[in-house]
Amino acid sequence: MSKLKLGMVGGGQGAFIGGVHRMAAAIDGQWEFVAGALSSDPARALASGQELGLAAERIYPSFEEMAKAEAARPDGIDAVAIVTPNHMHAAPAVAFLKAGIHVICDKPLAATMEDAEAIAAAVKESGKLFVLTHNYSGYPLVRQAKEMIARGDLGDIRVVQVEYPQDWLTEPADNKQADWRTDPARSGAGGCVGDIGTHAFHLASFVTGLKTEKLAADLDAFVEGRRVDDNVNVMLRFAGGAKGMLWASQVAPGNENGLRLRVYGSKGGIEWMQAVPNHMYYTPFGKPMQILTRGGAGATEAATRVTRIPSGHPEGYLEAFATIYREAAAMIRHAKDGTPLPAGVEAPSIEDGLTGMRFISACITSSRNDAAWTAL
């Protein structure tokens, strides 16, 4: 089976997430990186493409030129990865969708709801696939937690607790990653809530299958002069009666990427932490705690399907990210030539992106109204 061809917008010199996408796409041998408009600066775009070994004719000075040229090539790209700051998601996404090219996009979906809706309209009109890289949904034990909840192992879900603390913005920061994330013109009106709050929200929604009906949010910018939030506290009310709490922070000293999920039902609970992603605590009511391991005894079908190596050998962030690319490849092959879609394939979609944008908007609205309950 020949590799699918991947292009990229953004992710050039000095970028972090572009390299992650390229490594993740390469892990399972499904993708070949062949083209890019890697910077809004044509000189940097050229230098970046040369460093990454792209053919000269497939290093583009702009995404507009890239979309047009790749759509016209008989060996054009199958999908484009958009790894730009939030305010530059919509224009490239719409351009490539209109050119008939599938899109894989970093989260959140866009900087504004208007841009998000423009992307959604282009997805619908084009009929092409749109995958949003909420990569934490790719961990095997996250897939196992979802399967356990769906089959009723925890009973009726009552309480959902999710948190994502970091500390890297505890003080004013002046670097490429911090600059755009703390600039509302590029990040959107949400800072921490959009950057990592959406990850926490998606993880809780993905694992539990619950739909959030209302939320009450308290957003703060603790660092003086910061124009977007850097700490988020949210209470959640789910359809069916379950309640939840979400905390995301970028000013919590001692925390690196402390994503953690706890779910409790009428029959038991689970707890998973990204820092130790190959272990999950399972607490059936009235029985001793169990430690479930990735690929170990008790692994479910959903977890086994996205497990690459035997138990005891750690799988982590890059492999989870790679799962999203592998799922995207399967869906694109199915759309392209009817290749059978393996059971269980799933990846975050345009609908997940729109829900994330509504989450950001509702949090901002609630916080501006003294944490008033706000419909999602």
Radius of gyration of the chain, Cα coordinates, nearest whole angstrom: 20
HSE toward the beta carbon, residue 244, CA cutoff 13 A: 30
Cβ proximity of 83 and 18 under 8 Å = yes
Query: 166-193, pLDDT tens digit by residue?
Result: 999 999 998 989 999 999 999 999 999 9
Query: 93-148, pLDDT tens digit by residue?
Result: 999 999 999 999 999 999 999 999 999 999 999 999 999 999 999 999 999 999 99
State the chain's mean pLDDT as an integer. Answer: 97
**Predicted pLDDT of residue 147:** 98
Q: Domains along the chain?
A: 4-128 (3.40.50.720), 138-309+354-375 (3.30.360.10)
State how beta strands 79-82 and 4-9 pair. Answer: parallel
Cβ proximity of 236 and 252 under 8 Å = no
**Does 108 sit behind a cis peptide bond, omega within 30 degrees of 0 on the bond before it?**
yes
* Residues contacting 212, CB < 8 A, separation 6+: 201, 205, 236, 237, 238, 239, 244, 359, 376
> CA-to-CA distance for 109 and 15, rounded, in angstroms?
19
Q: Where are the beta strands (DSSP E) in 64-101?
A: 79-82
Question: pLDDT confidence of 1, banded at 50, 70, 90?
Answer: confident
> CA-to-CA distance for 232 and 168, rounded, in angstroms?
15
Question: pLDDT confidence of 223, banded at 50, 70, 90?
Answer: very high
**Predicted pLDDT of residue 12:** 95
pTM: 0.97
Whether the per-residue pLDDT at 336 is higher than 90: the answer is: yes
Burial (CB count within 10 angstroms: exposed 0-12, middle 13-18, buried 19+), residue 7: buried
The full length of the chain comes to 376
State how beta strands 231-238 and 157-165 pair. Answer: unpaired
Locate 289 and state its tokens.
């705690």
Query: 255-279, pLDDT tens digit by residue?
Result: 999 999 999 999 999 999 999 999 9
**Predicted pLDDT of residue 338:** 93
Helix (H) or strand (E) holding 139: none
Question: Which of 127, 94, 126 minimizes the C-alpha distance to 110?
Answer: 94
**What is residue 58's DSSP assignment?**
G
**Predicted pLDDT of residue 235:** 98
**What is residue 313's DSSP assignment?**
S
Cβ proximity of 282 and 270 under 8 Å = yes
**Predicted pLDDT of residue 66:** 98
